[in-house]
Amino acid sequence: MDLLDKIQGNNFYLIDFYANWCAPCQLQLQFLENLKEKFPDNVEIIKIDVDKDKVSTIQFDAMYQVNGVPTLMLFHQGKLLWKHYGVKFEDDLQEIVKQFLI
């Protein structure tokens, strides 16, 4: 299934555009793992390695501007709800997700 089709679902999809060589991306990874534990049924975290998945990266860059790594985007039923470039700390991520789940 294509990523653009997948994010059309009823779940919330948090996409993390990252690169293995990116130190801030490695920090972000831990925050995302903890977020996954807090919202296991409502939020699906999708990691896109910009160096390996060029098709998805180019698609999303054209539509939503992936300005660098890490870039986070939250979707629900195909709509972009929130986007952030740079590291977002765990508490901030939880608050952002909570506001859309309500």
H-assigned helices in 17-89 = 23-38, 54-64
Strand 79-85's sheet: what is its strand order?
Answer: 43-49, 12-18, 71-76, 79-85
- Out of 22, 29, 45, 81, the active site residue is 22
- Out of 25, 66, 69, 96, the active site residue is 25
1 is an active site residue: no
22 is an active site residue: yes
Q: What is the DSSP letter of 102?
A: -
Active site residues: 22, 25
